[in-house]
Amino acid sequence: MISITEILKDFPIFETKIHGKRLVYLDNAATTQKPRQVIEAISQYYETRNANVHRGVHYLSEIASEDYEEAHNKVAKFLNAKGMEEIIFTRNTTESLNLLAYSLGLNELEKGDNIVLTRFEHHSNLVPWQQMARRQGAEIRFIEMTEDCRLDLASAEKAIDDKTKVVSITHMSNALGTIIPVKEVSKLAREHGAYMIVDGAQSAPHMPVDVRELDVDFFAFSGHKMLAPMGIGGLYGREDILEKMEPFLFGGDMISIVSFDNATWNRLPWKFEAGTPNVSGGIGLAVAIDYLGKIGFDKIHYIEHELTEYAHERLNELSFIKIYGPEPKYKGAVVSFAMDGIHPHDIASLLDEDGIAVRAGHHCAQPLMKMLGTDSTTRASMYFYNTKEDIDALVESLQKIYKLFS
């Protein structure tokens, strides 16, 4: 089994000193660091195989097309989709969700329909639906949050009904870490014939995802939160639904036959990938998935859960810290907290002076923050390359900050 020292050696960023100090990177929910293997795959692609895909018969173009398709296959396996035709590459989760909001919203959503979300949604799974609902005269409903910051399944039964066209929910809250029981919700969506969409931006990097076992129609994710480069992400969609769906972006590559006044669409998944794609990103994503496979989600879960429990334990020792969100067993590796009398931006700035990277703010979940009675928190989010020493550094620095302000 690969050791933490070996893992850390794979991530060149950790050689960078931050204000002369060791980098303690605890902002993984925002984006993760990239292993050498991914960085090398991208430069190797540009150095030896760069060409546009699906357009040339020349050698490089064919190689690039093959690699790019192979990346789709890799993602299909990663999510246990049936095959490449169910995997659309996008820039990120936000674009994947917009694809769905536009395509389903403009073509299927009718006046009087409703869209069901949770109170945990990131702005990217809230704002596109708000816009579509307004445009089409549909209603947005929310599955509520319990007192202990978990999903209130009873309220899901009330929210989802025969007028529900779309259920779109996050798999894991980026602000609090709460893991959402997707399968239970998808059961309800099925009973009422609604499309079931999952925002997997925070789950795909940290837990095994099986779209068929979860029984969902769509699953959106971002490569950059799971070791891959920025600018590549994806959307799983069930083949029979994608076949019937209207495209979102129009142009080159997504067509089959074009005349001056009409066009027909390419086969899946290309029907949904208009224009020159991010080939190097796709290749980087494939290598990132290999890397995750090498570590294994069992180990990733084990490391992250240990770290989360340890962080709770250490932070709970500090009387001036209040943790938001559920107990570790109900969440991923995210710890969102507040500190008596000190603003999250000051905490984050002062941690930064010690080389510790965290996020301060509303975490793109303003309405959720308001529900919690605050407008911002400080968030430490971990990945498998973090260590207990990182948590110790955080705690030590927080104690120093508290002293400075008291």
Partner 1 sequence: MSSMYRQLIVDRYKAPLFKGKLDNADIHFHDANPLCGDEIEVFVRLDDEGKIKEAKFDGTGCAISQASVDLLLEGIEGMTPDEVMGLDADFIKEMLNIPLTPVRLKCALLGLKVLQAGILIHKKKQEAGES
Looking at residues 162 to 181 of the shown chain, list those that interact with ligand PLP (rule: CB under 6 A).
170, 174
Active site residue 149: no
Can residue 19 be called a binding residue for partner 1 (CB under 8 A)? yes
Query: Is residue 266 within the footprint of partner 1 (CB under 8 A)?
Result: no
Q: Which among 191, 149, 183, 169 has a CA at the least distance from the CA of 97?
A: 169
Of the residues 364, 368, 369, 391, which is catalytic? 364
Nearer CB in complex with ligand PLP: 201/369: 201
Q: How far is the CB of 403 from partner 1 (least distance, A)?
A: 11
| Residue 403 within binding range of partner 1, rule CB under 8 A | no
Tokens of 3: 């050791």
> In the bound complex, what is the minimum distance in angstroms from residue 343's beta carbon to partner 1?
4
Q: Contacts with ligand PLP in 5-44 (CB under 6 A)? A: 29
- Which of partner 1, ligand PLP, none does 118 bind, CB closer than 5 to 8 A by kind? none
A 10 A CB-CB count for 293 gives: 12
Kindly report the three-state secondary structure assignment for every residue of the chain: CCCHHHHHHCCHHHHCEECCEECEECECCCCCCCCHHHHHHHHHHHHHCCCCCCCCCCHHHHHHHHHHHHHHHHHHHHCCCCCHHHEEEECCHHHHHHHHHHHHHHHCCCCCCEEEEECCCCHHHCHHHHHHHHHHCCEEEEECECCCCCECHHHHHHHCCCCEEEEEEECECCCCCEECCHHHHHHHHHHCCCEEEEECCCCCCCCCCCHHHHCCCEEEEEHHHHCCCCCCEEEEECHHHHHHCCCCCCCCCCEEEECCCCEEECCCCHHHCCCCCCHHHHHHHHHHHHHHHHHCHHHHHHHHHHHHHHHHHHHHCCCCEEEECCCHHHECCEEEEEECCECHHHHHHHHHHCCEECEEECCCCHHHHHHCCCCCEEEEECCCCCCHHHHHHHHHHHHHHHHHHC
Q: Which is nearer to partner 1, 213 or 353 (CB)?
A: 353
Nearer to ligand PLP, 164 or 202 (CB): 202
Position among 199, 217, 273, 354 found at the interface with ligand PLP (CB under 6 A):
199
Task: Decide if residue 376 touches partner 1 (CB under 8 A).
Answer: yes
**Residue 241 is which amino acid?**
I
For residue 364, the minimal CB distance to ligand PLP (Å) is 6
Residues 6+ apart with CB under 8 A from 125: 93, 97, 117, 168, 169, 170, 199
By CB under 6 A, the residues from 67 to 96 that bind ligand PLP are 92-94
Q: Which is nearer to partner 1, 275 or 341 (CB)?
A: 341
| Minimum CB–partner distance for residue 183 and ligand PLP (Å) | 18
Exactly one of 20, 162, 261, 329 binds partner 1 (CB under 8 A); which one?
A: 20
19 binds, among partner 1, ligand PLP, none (CB under 5 to 8 A by kind): partner 1
Does residue 397 belong to the site contacting partner 1 (CB under 8 A)?
A: no
Per-residue binder mask for partner 1 (CB under 8 A), 305-344, x = binder: ------------------------------------xxxx
342's contact among partner 1, ligand PLP, none, with CB below 5 to 8 A by partner kind, is partner 1
Do the beta carbons of residue 113 and residue 136 sit within 8 Å?
Answer: yes
User: What is the closest distance, in whole angstroms, from the C-beta atom of residue 351 to partner 1 in the complex?
Assistant: 12
| C-beta of 316 vs 349, nearer to partner 1 | 349
Q: Which is nearer to partner 1, 222 or 378 (CB)?
A: 378
Taking contact as CB under 6 A, which single stretch among the options 111-119, 196-204, 304-312, 334-342 is the one that binds ligand PLP? 196-204
CB neighbour burial string for 385-401, b if at least 16 within 10 angstroms, e if fewer: bbbeebbebbbebbeeb
Q: Does 375 bind partner 1 (CB under 8 A)?
A: yes
Q: Considering beta carbons, is residue 161 or 352 the nearer one to partner 1?
A: 352
Our CA angle for 206, 364, 213, nearest 5°, is 35
Considering only the stretches 44-52, 120-128, 141-149, 181-189, report the one whose residues sit in contact with ligand PLP under the rule CB under 6 A: 120-128
Rule CB under 6 A: which residues touch ligand PLP? 29, 92-94, 122, 124-125, 170, 174, 199, 201-202, 222, 364
Q: Which residues are catalytic?
A: 364
Rule CB under 8 A: which residues touch partner 1? 19-20, 341-346, 349-350, 353, 361-362, 375-376, 404-405
